[in-house]
Amino acid sequence: MEGLIFDLKRYAVHDGPGIRLNVFFKGCPLHCLWCHNPEGVAFEPELMLMPNRCARCGDCVRACRYQALSQNGNGQVKADRSRCTLCGDCLQACQREAIEIAGRKMTVEEIATEAEKERVFFEQSGGGVTLTGGEPLAQPAFAEALIDSLKLHGFHVALDTSGYAPAEVFRNLAKKADLVLFDLKIMDETRHKKYTGVSNRIILENFQSLEKLGKPVWVRFPLIPGVNDDENNLEAMASFLCQLRSVEQVNVLPYHKGGLEKIRRLGREGEFAVFEPPSQEKVQSVIDFFARRGFKVKRGG
């Protein structure tokens, strides 16, 4: 069985307990305007151009059979993605890894092999594998097969999800994982729709169902100034979470601009928004807010 994966990251130390391997699923039903992994949004592989690595030699342009690449006056490479077939010839031609295709088919076995390489670190640190993305639940059959396989290998598995998936899918995969990292963004449905493109009703219902499964949850709250850092949202979130005993901790993830460069590489400027990162004081006040309500809170993942 194959899934579409855009990255495997070793020594991941911010996405669950211990030292972890992050498996990034490509494709997400949400379209959050602050997305810091924009290459994980589309469900197809995408061409990424890295001008900082480019020698402007034109090898890629010459290698392309579909005239999808061109150079402007000062040699900078531009892509006409409508012509690109993702054949990969340009990647072969480029000697500086200035072109990449985000997203490749990987089998369960390939990923399990990568995870095996990290076994000594997992075992030492109480770590494991985190399925993240993108949205792992958007490739449910593959995610299920992967979790089954990883569990057979004896690895701890964390599922990092937006919770936006059919209830059966969500429950089935959450049940199999050892830990759910649940990204909770905005409590108000209208605003949720405005900033992420989807309603949060199904997300909240799925969240509540974790209670019955008795699955431990780490809530991950991306703090986006002007979007979800207001009193109302914080209050609503706290009172929603208060009812759930399975919440072990709340992770406050301050917005950062790390995604912007990737958006440019994807040629998807205009599809996302730019925010100002929250101030240290603001982050601390949000941490204090949740702490006062009895949550174990951490800055970062």
Partner 1 sequence: MNDRIKKLREQSLRARPSISSERARIVTDSYRSPEVQRASVPVQRALVFKALMEKKAIFIDDGELIVGERGPAHKATPTYPEVCCHSLEDLETLDSRPKTSYTVDEETLRLYHEEIIPFWRGRSMRERIFADMRPEWKEAYEAGIFTEFMEQRAPGHTVLGDKIYRKGLLDIINDIKESVDHLDFFNDPEALDKQEELRAMAICAEALITYARRHAELARKMAEGEKDPVRKKELEKIAAVCEWVPAHAPRDFWEALQYYWFVHVGVTTEFNTWDSFNPGRLDQHLYPFYQKGLEDGSLDREKAAELLQALWVKFNNQPAPPKVGVTAEESGTYTDFALINVGGLRPDGRDGANELSYLILDVIEEMRLLQPSSMVQVSAKNPDSLLLRALKIVRTGFGQPSIFNTDAIVQELVRQGKSVEDARKGGSSGCVEAGAFGAEAYILTGYFNIPKVFEITLNNGVDPRTGKKIGLETGDPRNFQTFDELMQAFEKQMRYFIEVKIRGNNVIEKLYAEYLPAPFLSLFIDDCVLKGKDYHDGGARYNTRYIQGVGLGSITDILASVRYNVYDRKVVSMDELLKALSQNFQGYERLRDRFLNKTPKYGNDDDYADELTRLVFEMYFRLIDGRPTVCGGTYRVNLLPTTVHVYFGRVTGATPDGRLAGEPLSEGISPVQGMDRKGPTAVIKSAGKIDHIRTGGTLLNQKFTPQLLADDEGLVKLKDLIRAYFKLMGHHIQFNVVTADTLRDAQKHPEKYRDLIVRVAGYSDYFIDCARELQDEIIRRTEHQGF
* Residues of the shown chain interacting with partner 1 in the complex, contacts defined by CB under 8 A: 9-14, 18-19, 55, 57, 59, 95-97, 117-118, 120-121, 123-125, 127, 258, 298-301
We find the least distance from the C-beta atom of residue 59 to partner 1, in angstroms, to be: 7
Instruction: Specify the residue, 144 or 183, whose C-beta has the smaller distance to partner 1.
Output: 183
Rounded to a whole number of angstroms, the minimum distance from the CB of residue 194 to partner 1 is 28
> Which is nearer to partner 1, 55 or 167 (by Cβ)?
55
Return the HEC string of 35-84: CCCHHHCCCCCEEEECHHHCCCCCHHHHHCCCCCEEECCCCCEEECCCCC
Residue 98 Cβ vs partner 1, minimum distance, rounded to whole Å: 9
Task: Give the shortest CB-95-to-partner 1 separation in angstroms.
Answer: 3
- With respect to partner 1, which residue has the nearer C-beta, 97 or 235? 97
- The least CB distance from residue 188 to partner 1, in Å, is 29
Which of 174, 219 has the CB closer to partner 1? 219
CB of 207 to partner 1, least distance (A): 25
Return the number of the residue (83 or 96) whose C-beta is nearest partner 1: 96
Residue number, 127 or 133, with CB nearest to partner 1: 127
Q: What single letter denotes the amino acid at residue 262?
A: K
